[in-house]
Chains A and B, each alone.
Chain A
Amino acid sequence: MDQAVLARVPEVFARRVGPALGLADEADVVARACHAMATRFHGGGRLIVFGNGEAATDAQHISVEFVHPVIVGKRALPSFSLTSDVATITGVAATAGLEEVFAHQLRRLAAPRDIALGISPDGGCVNVLRGLETAHRLGLLTLALTGGDDGGPIGRSPAVDHVLIARSADPRVVKEVHVTTYHILWELVHVFFEQPGVLDPRVIP
């Protein structure tokens, strides 16, 4: 066996620990995001998810998580990923440009009571930012999963209501924190559903 490859393994795993623990420091942001999402679902909203490259697979993972819960007895919640429609994405990209794809889809598919969740590992994806800005203008609740030091332009955008930042420069580590984050988002949205009294719009600060 190549001893240099073997020697690298502990470092690869060690690189994950700090960013994973960092999510615990965001527990309050997670809780507020879940409450806001549960309130939107309670009001008939749908969850619309989007991202590029590897984050496109996260978008699809999130939508299947909500539509088909892994825990028996949890209700299915309406969600879809914008990245599954390759025909529309390549069509809009070829005419208006890749920067416009998610904004275009949201303008046609979203309702004001819906939820927009954009994923961008470095917070710099222009089409994700434009999608979130469009969603915000339409009245949707907006959330972003980003990474890096400060979440990048998406993390700083006033159009995003809830930002969760995975603090790592390694996009693979960022993705892993995102996976844990959205699994927790799904589970805790259902905790709020089990307490319908807290979903009354009047109690939202």
Chain B
Amino acid sequence: MSDIEALYPFLYSGSTDLDAVMTSVRQSTVEKVDEIVTLRRTVLERDGERIAACAEAMAEAFAAGARLFAFGNGGSSTDAQDVATLFMNPGHMNGGAAHPLPAFALTADIAVVTALANDIGFEVVFARQLAASAFAGDIALGLSTSGNSRNLIAAFEEAERRGMLTVGLAGYGGGQMAELGTIDHLFVVPAASVHRIQEAQTTVYHALWELTQQALTRMEAGDGDDGA
């Protein structure tokens, strides 16, 4: 016991419990770090090649004038906004300036979102925006952990009708996003934790962005197609 504890035992009345909780809390952090490192390895093994193919398709779409529309609910809406600002204002990559590319998050305009939700219903908030603003060849990128959000399903259905390039990020078993069968590039993060799914999805869209940038740079230099 320290001098301070001897003088003021009441200050440390709960200290034993606190020590035990602190120990379990520290262990919990270590376990969660192990989970996400393992999960990313799984995603790489399952989907690494498909991520590269999706990035190439996105680069070709951007080169042809596409705009990207990103959407999701809750935490995934912040990922959608992150995707949009990453493409729009990317700063630097590997020491060089990255290509700024046109992108919107469909949750950014709260007037449109609340108008559609109030007048029609929340299930149309993304689909109606795509119907109004998206063209064939544009990119629709939707993120969901469950894969079951009704407004995402409606948006992917609208995107398919409009001839957009569709990219989906889901979790668990892919849910209804997988059942649709129409999403051009669907990445399902196979985990049971919403948090770990979101963390791995962040890596997937960062990888898509970085590889899209690389593909665009190579296309501009004229060496993008190896014919493979």
Shortest A93–chain B CB gap in Å is 16
**B202 neighbours in A (Cβ, 8 Å):** 175-176, 179
CB of B191 closer than 8 Å to a CB of A: no
Given A2-B224, A57-B81, A64-B78, verify A16-B40 contact (CB < 8 Å): yes
Expressed in whole angstroms, the Cα–Cα distance for A188 and B209 within the complex equals 32
A75 at the A/B interface (Cβ < 8 Å)? no
B203 within 8 Å of A (CB atoms)? yes
Query: In the bound complex, how far is the Cα of B211 from the Cα of A27, in angstroms?
Result: 32
**Docked CA distance A10–B49 (Å):** 10
Measured CA separation A53–B90 after assembly (Å): 10
Closest to A81 in B: B78
**Interface membership of A183, Cβ < 8 A:** yes
- Do A24 and B18 touch (CB < 8 A)? no
The stretch of A97-105, A145-153, A192-200 in contact with B is A192-200
Known: A21-B33, A27-B26. A13 touches B41 (CB 8 A): yes
- Closest CB of chain A to B40's CB: distance in Å? 6
Q: Which of chain A's residues have a CB closer than 8 A to the CB of B154?
A: none
Give the interface residue-count category, chain B: 35 or more
Q: Give the residues in chain B near A184, CB-CB below 8 Å.
A: 28-29, 32
Asked whether any CB of chain B lies closer than 8 Å to the CB of A109, the reply is: no
- Bound Cα distance A173, B55 (Å): 18
> Are A27 and B29 neighbours in the complex by a CB distance under 8 Å?
yes
Q: Is the CB of A1 within 8 A of B30?
A: no
Given contacts A4-B214, A9-B51, A176-B199, contact A192 B56 (CB under 8 A): no
Does A203 lie at the interface of the complex (its beta carbon under 8 Å from any beta carbon of B)?
yes
Known: A20-B33, A31-B29, A197-B17. A1 touches B85 (CB 8 A): no
Distance between A64 CB and nearest chain B CB, rounded to angstroms: 6
* Given A13-B41, A13-B44: A6 and B52 interface contact (C-beta under 8 Å): yes
Complex alpha-carbon distance, A20 and B202, angstroms? 13
Is A161 positioned at the interface, with any CB of B under 8 Å from its CB? no
Complex Cα distance, B22 from A187, in Å, reads 13
User: A17 at interface (Cβ–Cβ under 8 A)?
Assistant: yes
Min CB distance, B167 to chain A, in Å?
16
Whether the Cβ atoms of B29 and A4 lie closer than 8 Å is no
Tell whether B75 is near chain A: CB-to-CB under 8 Å: yes
Interface contact A9-B44, CB-CB below 8 Å: yes
Within 8 A of B (CB), among A165-202: 171-173, 175-176, 179-180, 183-184, 187-188, 191-192, 195, 197-198, 200, 202
> Which residues of chain A are within 8 angstroms of B28 by Cβ–Cβ distance?
184, 187-188, 191
A42 in the interface (beta carbon within 8 A): no
Sample (25) of A-B pairs whose CB atoms are under 8 Å apart: A2-B56, A4-B218, A4-B226, A5-B214, A6-B49, A8-B210, A9-B49, A12-B207, A12-B210, A13-B203, A16-B40, A16-B203, A26-B29, A35-B21, A35-B25, A56-B85, A57-B79, A61-B75, A172-B210, A175-B202, A180-B33, A184-B32, A191-B28, A195-B21, A202-B14
Task: Write the residues of chain B forming the contact surface with A, with a CB cutoff of 8 angstroms.
Answer: 10-15, 17-18, 21-22, 24-30, 32-34, 36-37, 40-41, 43-44, 48-49, 51-53, 55-56, 74-75, 77-79, 81-82, 85-86, 89, 91, 194-195, 198-199, 202-203, 206-207, 209-211, 214-215, 218, 223-226, 228
Pairs of residues from A and B, 10 with the lowest C-beta to C-beta distance, nearest first: A183-B195, A61-B78, A27-B29, A27-B26, A57-B82, A203-B14, A57-B78, A172-B206, A24-B33, A6-B52
